[in-house]
């Protein structure tokens, strides 16, 4: 058992080394995870923020302190959207994995934040991350949407972010085997032919100890299956299938107007996470 664990660590270290040497096509994804996106009533929520490669379960990248973490909530069609700054709840997290310690962040939000019925659009704006292997910065404007009780709200409203994926169907109510449609937006306008990457969160997060499960849920037959790449149409729209329950990340690449940071190339990406339920 011990020998197998040592071998597993060796394999992981080798994989990490090969990753940095050969730079295979793996997508960086800013994770913004909570256990349940559709609670029936208001509950306290824990959030896990890790910059990672979700299909491969790593390597993970050190995050700088988030620039913004907030929500926009709305109950029903007629209500006005409410903005709530959540940065005060964000705590640094030393995320531990086979790779070692990675700087991540977490937040524990009291029930009062999500007590009311309706939609809650959580937005994380991390500081730009310098990816030395690509000699560029990456900044992913990341959204995860929660609905309390089944009363809809503002899930379909654009927020005018520098980079954003606008859902065309409810992002928190997707069955395994269904499809998800969206529009890629930059500063509120559609981005024609945007390059989009999709990855399955292949290692379940554990919010009790803020770790990722060691066992992959899906064995990838070949590296192309880890990151699915598609292009939006001329109107910025896209459709993807959701073949398995769990979490799916969608990332529209390099669509923001700012293309330079501290003298280097900057990729401003828009990320949206979906929690997909099993139809049983």
User: Which residues here bind another protein, judged by CB under 8 A?
Assistant: 40-42, 75-79, 115-118, 149-153
Backbone angles phi, psi at 6, to 5 degrees: -65, -45
Q: Cβ neighbours of residue 82 under 8 Å, at least 6 residues apart? A: 72, 73, 74
Torsion region of 135: left, alpha or beta (phi above 0 gives left; psi -120 to 50 gives alpha): left
Of 24 and 158, nearer to another protein (C-beta) is 158
Which of 150/241 has CB closer to another protein?
150
Distance CA 125, CA 143 (A): 9
Nearer to another protein, 162 or 167 (CB): 167
How many residues are present in the chain? Answer: 280
Instruction: Measure CA 186 to chain center.
Output: 17
- C-alpha pair distances (Å), 270 with each of 164, 193, 256: 4, 14, 8
From the CB of 30, what's the least distance to another protein, in Å? 29
Residue 43: CB minimum distance to another protein, A: 9
Identify the H or E element spanning 5: helix 2-22
Nearer to another protein, 173 or 250 (CB): 173
Smallest separation, CB 153 to another protein (Å): 7
152, 173 in Cβ contact below 8 A? no
Q: How does strand 237-241 pair with strand 179-186?
A: antiparallel
- The minimum distance between CB 191 and another protein, in angstroms, equals 28
- In whole angstroms, the minimum distance from the beta carbon of 73 to another protein comes to 13
Q: Count of CB atoms within 10 A of residue 112's CB?
A: 9
Structure tokens at 11: 């394999």
The distance of closest approach from Cβ of residue 107 to another protein in the complex, given in angstroms and rounded to an integer, is: 22
Rounded least distance, CB 45 to another protein, Å? 15
Q: Which is nearer to another protein, 153 or 182 (CB)?
A: 153
Choose between 152 and 178: whose C-beta lies nearer to another protein.
152
- What sign does the dihedral 197-246-226-123 (CA atoms) show? positive
Q: How far is the CB of 75 from another protein (least distance, A)?
A: 6
- My answer on whether omega of the bond before 106 falls inside 30° of 0, hence cis, is no
Q: Which is nearer to another protein, 18 or 83 (CB)?
A: 83
Which C-beta is closer to another protein: that of 153 or that of 226? 153
- The number of C-alpha atoms within 13 Å of 236 and in the hemisphere containing its C-beta is 19
């Amino acid at each position: 058992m011990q020998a197998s664990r040592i071998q597993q660590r060796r394999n992981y270290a080798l994989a990490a080394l090969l990753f940095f040497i050969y730079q295979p096509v793996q997508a960086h994804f800013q994770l913004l995870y909570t256990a349940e996106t559709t609670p029936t009533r208001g509950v306290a929520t824990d959030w896990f923020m890790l910059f990672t490669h979700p299909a491969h379960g790593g390597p993970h990248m050190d995050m700088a302190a988030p620039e913004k973490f907030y929500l926009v909530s709305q109950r029903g069609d007629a209500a006005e959207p409410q903005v709530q700054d959540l940065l005060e709840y964000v705590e640094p997290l030393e995320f531990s994995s086979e790779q070692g310690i990675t700087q991540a962040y977490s937040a524990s939000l009291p029930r009062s934040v999500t007590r009311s019925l309706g939609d809650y659009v959580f937005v994380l704006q991390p500081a730009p991350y310098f990816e030395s292997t690509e000699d560029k910065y990456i900044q992913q404007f990341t959204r995860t949407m929660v609905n309390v009780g089944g009363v809809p709200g503002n899930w379909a409203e654009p927020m005018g972010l520098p980079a954003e994926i606008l859902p065309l169907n409810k992002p928190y109510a997707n069955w395994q085997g269904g499809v998800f449609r969206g529009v890629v937006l930059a500063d509120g306008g559609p981005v024609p032919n945007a390059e989009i990457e999709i990855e399955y969160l292949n290692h379940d997060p554990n919010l009790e100890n803020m770790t990722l499960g060691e066992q992959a849920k899906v064995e990838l037959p070949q590296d192309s299956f880890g990151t699915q790449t598609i292009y939006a149409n001329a109107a910025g729209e896209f459709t993807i299938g959701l073949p398995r329950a769990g979490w799916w990340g969608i990332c529209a690449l390099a669509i923001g107007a700012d293309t330079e940071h501290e003298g280097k190339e900057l990729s401003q990406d828009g990320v949206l996470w979906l929690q997909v339920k099993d139809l049983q």
